[in-house]
Structure 1
């Protein structure tokens, strides 16, 4: 009888009410991102080791979070110990970020030195002329660059993190043998996706490549905008629409190509005049009847979206690593100033307001760094489902770096506003990181909708189970028990105590409860909105905020617990940083989740939508000034 009641309870909650799995979103770019997850087996919910994907089902998956990754072998650690000091010295003694910025060009001696250091081929295998670094090794060197000059960092990143990354990921042996020695030997690379009509909506690109009559070439025509290294790249990964046969019809699908400037018909516009990262070359690139050999198709005809999105997913952790370095440098400047500057008879560091600023900057830096090395470590240990975590690392890092550097300027006061301190340049350089390689707004929707898609596959599996209950009693009773316990307040979050230091166990327990609530909230949103959830961006953004808080809290607790376990000298400070960040994160999560359903928040969302629409329709603020003049 008890089992029957539980089954009835679950049946009311699920059967016949759960909507079909929603489409990822109306943005073609985002829909393609969401489809990068492995395909589901027909009739079964997809499984994953991703922390964030499982969060949307209310499950706390620890595999890729606890313990904190330790991916470096002894020889890899030794190699880093040999590489980091000369790179640090180079950026301290050779590179001049102020001159690079004022001249809108990296100085020639800096460029030559970077090529000599092997900085343009960090992850290219040694047999093709590179250093063959792992993702974690790459992250450490990128962190050094980010601490000194983000403009130089963009030049390096545009070249290898995205420029020729497609060749590393999807190139066949012949393509790798032909091009990798060139991109490590002095020839720049670029990633050419964005067009005037397609920013976040990459599916609307107009560039087109058509097979030549003899079948030996594709003829490319079109243009790209805002291409980093666009004016200096000899080798480009270019995306264009190509006609393909599908179900007896000719349709356009995006294909990736390796294009050389030497093919002819490739030209570039003048360098763009930008707010920041001025020394990085950014131009329009034009293609007029460019003959691309068919052997230069990258990843297969019609697979361009897969290539593009995997490149972007694969490289996002590098931004977090670079911006962890940026924050560490800004924090050092702010701390040194606060420890020496005297006002009102006290050092600035003695005032509570400054202490809070420094503490929050330290929390943001520690969390950013924890994310960067957790994602890179997962990648190095064979994880395949890390796309949401990589997106979170990019969003969090770029938002946090902006806040941290802004606060560093505030602590330095008028001195921070002056060019001499370098912080105003860093702030200008930082602004682009919240926009390029997936705007933070789009990535938040990507996190929410991909997570919802994952949760929806589980709910669909339950629907199918209720159609044939005798064949699926295990699944039904397991789910029924979980739901019944939740309904009467007996559900407990996963036991994280074995994974974290004793000091963090109360917060870990609270995180577990928040994970359960996140899953319940997602299911309620699916039941309430069905396929229409893709248009509920106010709700999606709150779900993304909750997911970001959950993952960042888990990451810092994992890292600090590692420090405690290894008895590192920094462990007491790391535990305090983790406590401080996790305390605020698990406090924000219930508020974010409640906002998806409580009437007051929903009224406010409707109000904001109406106000935003009115402003757009009026072309600005519709109200006159108080004087009506």
Structure 2
């Protein structure tokens, strides 16, 4: 059975109950459906009129199992794509399809919840796939730079090559650590992991793209050829889609920052209410936390291997800075951060998200390396070096992102807005007159 997931947001497809109450009549369609040309069973999300408590009806998304044999299900020609050409991608259309009422998944109006659970699983699968692609690229690259000689040296002896190799190794280790963390949470029965799944999807797809690009670069001209056996051009084409489907990374970054900000906003709102209502213990606890904020550091260092305490302290330090930055944003911009108008502060939100992704990644590698070091194997020493390098680089990135958020460079933001408006109004480059030669 192949189940096809149709997009759950901005859905125009409709399913309405038939007069006899035995079927839903489904009409609509969706593009970019993987394997939609030959799939026999689909998971379809459609708008359904749901009765409210006051007797009125409101359109809400519901989920259905739809079989091609029901009739009225057609698909278009396969799309011509950049990559993943082994996957059949088509438009699927539904024309008065009779869907038995028992094929409703859950209850009417619960389609969003169903879609979120499916997407979480999909976002877990992407990091898992990306780790395999990265490992393939790294192994082929190591083979090449270990045997290729230039200027009397093996490529692996040059500093620039070493830096790229180390970066590729770190990115793979980070992504694989996130996969282990997500898998562990799922195995324990955790159901609320959509934020972690989104972070994993962003980090994995971005890391895999960079690793593959570095592999091509280190192969030189041969990296662009299919005869190398690496066939980076194909791997690159296939990997590019991971930054887009199961939620484009740009949108997921906003999801990560907005979800975290909303949680922080609720906490601050409750804190204000407690203080206003005479909750002196809450006020004292908050003052103590801000003044003597070492509890997070001691808690984190107590959980990691003793060889990683310095790295744990670095992570605890940037977590504290991250919290202050989010609080400052909420205080300064309020609804511009967590309100309806998501376009208000995207400059800050994307940088908050990047910091959050790095922080989560650091926690994942600390957890994995702690386990390896506790086993007293050679792998633990090797992994410790990876963790040291990653946390040094990640803390620097986090502080840079947070400083840009805190700076609130309205001039830079306005310049960005003006230039993007100019280039669109000129239908391309902003230059209106050719240069005189």
Of 412, 437, 444, the match for 2:253 = 444
Which 4+ residue blocks in structure 1 deviate beyond 4 angstroms? none
Deviates more, 1:336-345 or 1:499-508: 499-508
- Please tell me whether residue 189 in structure 1 is matched to residue 3 in structure 2: yes
Q: In the alignment, what sits opposite 2:220?
A: 413
8 A contact 2:64–2:105 mirrored in 1 = yes
TM-score, scaled to structure 1: 0.66
TM-score, scaled to structure 2: 0.95
C-alpha offsets along residues 236-293 of structure 1, whole Å, 9 cap, x if unaligned?
A: 0001111112233222111110000000000000111000001111100010000000
**Aligned equivalents of 1:391, 1:241: Cα separation in 2:** 25
Of 266, 279, 284, the match for 1:457 = 266
**Aligned equivalents of 1:259, 1:346: Cα separation in 2:** 62
**Aligned equivalents of 1:628, 1:281: Cα separation in 2:** 51
Q: In the alignment, what sits opposite 1:332?
A: 139
Superposed displacement of residue 484, structure 1: 4.0
Superposed displacement of residue 492, structure 1: 7.0
Gaps of 5+ in 1: 1-182, 194-201
8 A contact 1:321–1:373 mirrored in 2 = no
Q: In the alignment, what sits opposite 1:278?
A: 85
Q: In the alignment, what sits opposite 1:101?
A: none
Superposed displacement of residue 572, structure 1: 1.4
1:142-541 → structure 2 map (5 Å cutoff): 183=1, 188-193=2-7, 202-246=8-52, 247-420=54-227, 421=229, 422-469=231-278, 472-485=279-292, 493-533=297-337, 534=342, 535-541=344-350
Q: In the alignment, what sits opposite 2:421?
A: 613
Aligned with 2:406: secondary structure?
coil
**Aligned equivalents of 1:353, 1:517: Cα separation in 2:** 32
**Relative contact order higher in (CA < 8 Å, ≥ 6 apart):** 1
C-alpha offsets along residues 272-318 of structure 1, whole Å, 9 cap, x if unaligned?
A: 10000011111000100000000000121111111111210133111
**Aligned equivalents of 2:298, 2:258: Cα separation in 1:** 24
8 A contact 1:557–1:579 mirrored in 2 = no
Superposed displacement of residue 189, structure 1: 2.4
**CA-atom RMSD in angstroms:** 1.6
**Aligned equivalents of 1:493, 1:214: Cα separation in 2:** 64
8 A contact 1:276–1:428 mirrored in 2 = yes
Deviates more, 1:539-548 or 1:498-507: 498-507
**Aligned equivalents of 1:602, 1:379: Cα separation in 2:** 42
Gaps of 5+ in 2: none
Q: 1:410 to 1:479 in 2, by over 3 A?
A: same
Q: How many residues were matched structurally?
A: 429
8 A contact 1:556–1:582 mirrored in 2 = no
**Aligned equivalents of 1:478, 1:593: Cα separation in 2:** 26
Superposed displacement of residue 402, structure 1: 0.6
**Aligned equivalents of 1:540, 1:621: Cα separation in 2:** 28
Of 368, 371, 377, the match for 1:562 = 371
C-alpha offsets along residues 466-495 of structure 1, whole Å, 9 cap, x if unaligned?
A: 2321xx332221012223446xxx887444
**Aligned equivalents of 2:72, 2:296: Cα separation in 1:** 64
